[in-house]
Amino acid sequence: MTRPSGPLRIGLLGAGFVSGHHLAAWRRHAPRAQVLAIADPHLERAADRARSFGVPRVYTSAEALIEAGDLDAIDIASQRETHPSLVRLAMSRGLAVLCQKPLAPTYEEAVALVRDVRGKARLMVHENWRFRPWYRQIGEWLRAGRIGNVVQAQMTLLSSGLLPDTRDVLPAVQRQPFLADLERALVMEFAIHHIDTLRFLLGDLELMHARLGKACTRTRGEDRVAAAFETEDGTPVGLLANLCVHGEPAATVDRLLLVGERGSIRLDGGTLSCEGEHPARLEYDLDASYADSYTGAIGHFIDALASGAEFETGPDDNLRTLQLVEEIYRRAGPAAGAGGRPVRVAGGAR
């Protein structure tokens, strides 16, 4: 891709729930980038987004949007099943691509996709979770050795989002209706973020144990997971997630504890603290930080295209996250449990 002399010209594929966050983030990067077109099979939905964000053109298909030309990059914000075909389409035309996670519905499909498109154009996975301000801050603290070597880590994601509320509505499904029909739900849609973030912060991970469960009868996929990992030096890392926990808020809130040799780091929602030799306490606005994560991921995409630097969440990095996700499903499925060799993948705060 030749670096454009003016603003980066973007085409957005998908006008569903997450597209509003993408468009708001692109707007915050003006005048370095501008979304010129939106494509969605539901033209009215695309038109609504276009009116809200001042996007001049709408289409009912990705093919029509790309054929119209005058674009430098494609932002894919559609359902996961469409990702492989849309990435192949855009990259076959030499367009840089920012693709929402997961890169493909399964690890095997993602491997085939990366093999097919390698060398054709630039590809980054939109894994925005690690771009949340508190995780960037934790990464800085770890690189500075603020708590020494991490000896234990626990990530927790608990929510009542799949418990009926007083109206007999599932809040998580009301917010994102597609969740009800996902066969791969909690791990592939939610916990994938946390696995990627743990890799970003702690480095190589090896899956030691995993169990899935399901309590909600009105959705198809799993709604709880317990997974145990180890880092390259044997540090235990736990991940506990459940969307059917009484007493928890409907919206998911991250909790993370990193125990170090000389201190500890604790995240509880929007509160981040460091204890030990270098104490600190920071408070974050949850809604603003959520928006900032999209802005950070998209800003990284723009910067790397301009400089030629590698993407932090490039396809090879994302494959390593997907490898762990796939291993959780394999081990925790009906025929899993025993057997299977641990998968070690790379990462590390940088």
Per-residue pLDDT of the chain (350 residues; tens, 9 = 90+): 445 568 999 999 999 999 999 999 999 999 999 999 999 999 999 999 999 999 999 999 999 999 999 999 999 999 999 999 999 999 999 999 999 999 999 999 999 999 999 999 999 999 999 999 999 999 999 999 999 999 999 999 999 999 999 999 999 999 999 999 999 999 999 999 999 999 999 998 999 999 999 999 999 999 999 999 999 999 999 999 999 999 999 999 999 999 999 999 999 999 999 999 999 999 999 999 999 999 999 999 999 999 999 999 999 999 999 999 999 999 986 533 333 344 444 455 54
Query: How far is the C-alpha of 350 from the C-alpha of 161, rounded, in Å?
Result: 33
Q: Report the DSSP beta bridge partners of residue 345.
A: 205
pLDDT at 339: 33
pLDDT at 4: 52
pLDDT at 348: 54
Pairing of strands 344-345, 205-213: antiparallel
Query: How far is the C-alpha of 58 from the C-alpha of 66, rounded, in Å?
Result: 11
pLDDT at 193: 97
Length of the chain: 350
**DSSP secondary structure string, 38-80?**
EE-SSHHHHHHHHHHHT--EEESSHHHHHHT---SEEEE-S-G
Domains of the chain are 8-121 (3.40.50.720), 130-284+316-345 (3.30.360.10)
pLDDT at 340: 36
Query: How far is the C-alpha of 341 from the C-alpha of 330, rounded, in Å?
Result: 11
pLDDT at 349: 53
Neighbours of 261 (CB within 10 A): 12
Q: If DSSP codes are grouped into helix, strand and coil, which group holds residue 316?
A: helix
Joined tokens for residue 230: 């180890």
User: 252 φ, ψ to 5°?
Assistant: -75, 140
pLDDT at 6: 85
Query: How far is the C-alpha of 126 from the C-alpha of 75, rounded, in Å?
Result: 9
Q: If DSSP codes are grouped into helix, strand and coil, which group holds residue 215?
A: coil
At residue 188, what is the residue type?
M
pLDDT at 332: 84
Query: How far is the C-alpha of 239 from the C-alpha of 324, rounded, in Å?
Result: 12
Strand order in the sheet with 123-126: 57-59, 33-39, 8-13, 73-76, 96-100, 123-126
At residue 24, what is the residue type?
A
**102 preceded by a cis bond (ω within 30 of 0):** yes
Joined tokens for residue 291: 């928006």
**DSSP secondary structure string, 180-198?**
GG-SS-IIIIIIHHHHHHH
Cα angle 319, 243, 240; round to 5: 60
pLDDT at 227: 97
| Residue among 252, 186, 245, 174 nearest 220 (CA) | 186
Query: How far is the C-alpha of 38 from the C-alpha of 20, rounded, in Å?
Result: 11
pLDDT at 335: 37
Query: How far is the C-alpha of 137 from the C-alpha of 124, rounded, in Å?
Result: 22
pLDDT at 110: 97
Q: Which positions ≥6 away from 185 have C-beta within 8 Å?
A: 179, 219, 220, 221, 222, 223
Q: Which positions ≥6 away from 111 have C-beta within 8 Å?
A: 319
The pTM assigned to this predicted structure is: 0.92
CA torsion sign for 136, 320, 184, 111 is positive
From first CA to last CA, the distance across the chain in angstroms is: 26
Neighbours of 283 (CB within 10 A): 10
